[in-house]
Structure 1
Amino acid sequence: MKLAEIYRKIISEEPYKDMGVFFESYESFEEKPLVSRCKRLDFLKKEMSNDKVSEVLAGGAIFLMNLIKIMGETDKCSFYAITFTDFYGIDEREVLVPNIFVYPGAASVGFIDKIKENSAIAASKEMKEVMNKFHKIGGEAIFDFYESRFSDSACDEEIIRVFAVPKEVDTRVGNSSFRSLRP
């Protein structure tokens, strides 16, 4: 596997090939998937297990978060995190695809505190799976993990979102002394 191949087959097809998408003025939050079409992962699945593909994608998301930090304007208070929302194949060891979660501007202040307040006491299997991926790639120590669950009456489904929040962002946009979950 070559990095150029990852760029050509995945990144060049995604909106974030122009990093400006992370700094636009959105009315509310946006989530940009690292890979918007699962078919784009076929070449990786031929070379490695689904677990390893998930780890490659988690590493890619961490890389993107570092670029966002470097390129971002320091005077703007925006909230960025890596999120996971698609857990339908978790029991079958399907690939977990991360998103980059963007909540721009002043509205983002206090958002992390809301997540912390509503996060479960015990770590769910979804949270444990995400934390395991980060642990395997050495990224667990630089993130705090939170979970949001709510019922969407429109589709009659429970919506699960696991947040991986860089510790630096956590302290910058939140004032709570709440500690993250550790299974």
Structure 2
Amino acid sequence: MKNFEDEFNTLIKKEKLNDLSIYFSDYESYEEIPLFSRYKNISFLSELSFNEKNKILIRKGIELIRHVSEVSLSYLKEDETEDYFICLSITDWDFDDYKEINCLSPHIYISRKKEWLLSCLELTQKNSIEENLVKEYLTFLDLNSCDVYVSGKCTNTNRVYILEQPID
């Protein structure tokens, strides 16, 4: 599978995801920053299947949150890092949404209010179809250190969360 490194570097610049300050702003509660804002921005993936696109997008999203986590001490005070939260959220599970672009939508999900956010989300593992599909992608990508969750407050699974660190 082609890695599309140059195309993703262009995408990250176009989406301004290379501006690290966006990941450390003190948003009121949380922010969910899309990996791509327009479908045409990922047109370089158009020849790939649904699963191939998702794997590549998830891999790039995980790489981005890993990078942000690595530089977080440069942007946050040491005591602020404990309340900093970053993960990858996957949306657009509705058939009508992903039918148009033939992939799911990854977002960088961030907050500087980790304890509050986790209490609101009540992340859990339900073994849903969506979770299992993302787990398959992670296994294929050899990203076995990641865990997959959904919100315990939602009856449907319209958003899946991929965390690098298990929740306490």
2:7 counterpart of 1:5 = yes
Instruction: Name the SS for the 2:17 alignment partner.
Output: helix
Shift in Å at residue 44 of structure 1?
Answer: 1.4
**Kindly tell me: are residues 125 and 78 of structure 1, through their superposed partners in 2, closer, same or farther at Cα, counting changes over 3 Å?**
same
Describe how 1:149-164 pairs up with structure 2 within 5 A. Answer: 150=154, 160-164=158-162
Deviations 1:33-64 (A, max 9, x none): 11111121222122x22211111111101111
Letter in 2 for 1:103: S
Q: 1:55 corresponds to which residue?
A: 55
Paired residue for 1:143, among 142, 146, 150?
146
> In structure 2, what is the Cα distance between the partners aligned to 1:159 and 1:62?
20
Structure-1-length-normalised TM-score = 0.74
The residue type paired with residue 131 of structure 1 is K
The percentage of aligned residue pairs carrying the same residue is 23
> In the alignment, which of 76, 80, 84 is matched to residue 78 of structure 1?
84
Deviations 1:114-135 (A, max 9, x none): 54x4635x31111112212112
Q: Residue type matched to 2:55 in 1?
A: E
**CA–CA distance in 2 between the matches of 1:159 and 1:135?**
20
Q: Give the unaligned 5+ runs of structure 1.
A: 152-157, 175-183
Q: How many residues align?
A: 157
User: Does residue 19 of the first structure (1) align with residue 20 of the second (2)?
Assistant: yes
1-structure distance, mates of 2:123, 2:68: 27
1:38 aligns with 2:70: no
RMSD: 2.6
Q: 1:33 to 1:146 in 2, by over 3 A?
A: same
* TM-score (ref. length: structure 2): 0.80
CA distance in 2 between partners of 1:14 and 1:159 (Å): 27
Please state if 1:94 is matched with 2:102: yes
How much does 1:5 deviate? 2.6
User: In structure 2, what is the Cα distance between the partners aligned to 1:24 and 1:123?
Assistant: 33
Partner AA of 2:118 in structure 1: I
1:165 aligns with 2:167: no
Which runs of at least 4 in structure 1 moved beyond 3 Å after TM superposition?
A: 90-93, 110-115
Unmatched tracts of structure 2, length 5 or more: none
Deviation at 1:6, TM superposition (A): 2.5
Q: Give, in whole Å, the separation in 1 of the partners of 2:39 and 2:49.
A: 15
Give the secondary-structure state (helix, strand or coil) at the position aligned to 1:53: helix
Shift of 1:166: 1.0
Tell me how far 1:97 sits from its aligned partner: 2.0
